[in-house]
Amino acid sequence: MNSLSHPHSPAGVTVIGGDGVGPEVVQAAMALVDASGATIAWEMVEAGAKSFARGIDSGVPDETFESISRNKVVLKGPLETPIGHGGKSANVTLRKTFETFANIRPTRELPGIITPFSGRGIDLVIVRENVEDLYAGIEHMQTPNVAQCLKLISRLGCQRVSSAAFALAESENRSQVTVATKANIMKLTEGMFKSEFEDVATRYPHIQTNHLLIDNCAHQLVVHPEQFDIVLTTNMNGDIISDLASGLVGGLGVAPSANIGYEVAMFEAVHGSAPDIAGKDIANPTAMILSAVMMLRHIGQFEPAEKLEQALFLTLEEGIHTSDIATGEAYGTAAFTAAVMERLGKESSVPSREHRAFEIAPVTTADSDVHPGSRTKVGVDVFVESSDSPEQIAHTLTQVTKNTGFQLKMMSNRGIQVWPSRGVQPSVVDHFRCRFSVNDPAAWSDEMVLGLLAKVSPAYRWMHVEKLESHNGALGFTKAQGEN
């Protein structure tokens, strides 16, 4: 990833003003960037609500895609996303299209902003995998009463975002990276994230590492946040704890972020579009200004970045705040921006961190893929819909699947073994996983699986099937709660 531009040639930056308060805070940030001495060639484009209204289903016009592809750097305001109806999120579309796989969320105690955690020296970064996990958005109504969302974790995704976390540590002279997972429960998905992180960590022996369960990490962020330097985690976990971390230092109004890939980087405030206060000159531009500071560092314009950050710090330190922060006099968006402008070239009592170029070591599919030396067929899981009792289903399936080469071994409901019975029957819904073991692994064929489904189908509606395999002797699937 090339994060540098020539200091004397303007860097092309695509600007998406966004919805609601977006244009106000983006214009404030742009004006301050220009006044800081940075050399930027801005290119204004559109995405979000206006695009949806024009009938663009993705919320992102072709000309916006083209601009981003050309400039590689984006300063973006918040975009509205239809909730429960309408088009897909334009935010997610942009992140996935340009494969910005690392979401970076700094959390730093800011001068002049008093919170219950003031004085604790909080200065950490949440690095969140940004394109996989449950946010792949692959969902199905498997029965009228049971919805499924697939949690997809790849070695490629784990290695890329782990490399980004260590690259960030080096660029900001940080000494520790904590990986936070739920690998005790999701042993294959979250477990892969943990193990791939540990593999990448061997290439950075000078950086300390540790692992926390994500729930303990959330607890520790509140109890002892100053212990953290960089926290790396999966997509949904990171979405949650990064907002928690922002709350420690003043809320989303002061929370910047970056979405980084090998080719494209997008910088944006974390907060939403806040349409209820749009056009009222009361939005807090701090998060967008700090996002612009991150952008300047990304393109190698370190001096203007520090100049702007110090002016912002001094403004806050002197008690100049917008209404979401102020305990006394509140400044409007324009007045706050003007106050920062007046302080450009002055320094606060809080130093900026030292920053160097941020370069992520490239990882390709060829680098990350593991090819099993052995692959053994163990059986098949067939998911069926039924309101029958577990005993009735087991009896029927046992009878109809004779002579298929498979034997019913176990049934679970919502992950809990319900047959053979453990003596206490949990509540069941109309969604059963029926685990069949293969009698002779050497005789396995896809035709056998199709034959099994042909026998199951007249008795029960099946909606999903998974082959069960072991790779290099390790099971490639998990057992149900209670299954031996």
- Active site (catalytic) residues: 135, 182, 215, 239, 243
Burial of 399 (0-12, 13-18, 19+ CB in 10 A): exposed
Would you give the DSSP letter of residue 226? Answer: G
Euclidean distance between CA atoms 369 and 285, whole angstroms? 43
Let me know: does 181 contact 173? Beta carbons within 8 Å.
Answer: no
Euclidean distance between CA atoms 179 and 352, whole angstroms? 26
Euclidean distance between CA atoms 242 and 106, whole angstroms? 9
Euclidean distance between CA atoms 53 and 92, whole angstroms? 18
Q: What is the DSSP string of 40-65?
A: EEEEEE--SHHHHHTT-TTS--HHHH
Burial of 215 (0-12, 13-18, 19+ CB in 10 A): middle
Question: 10 Å Cβ neighbour count for 454?
Answer: 12
| Helices 214-223/235-248 angle, 10° precision | 10
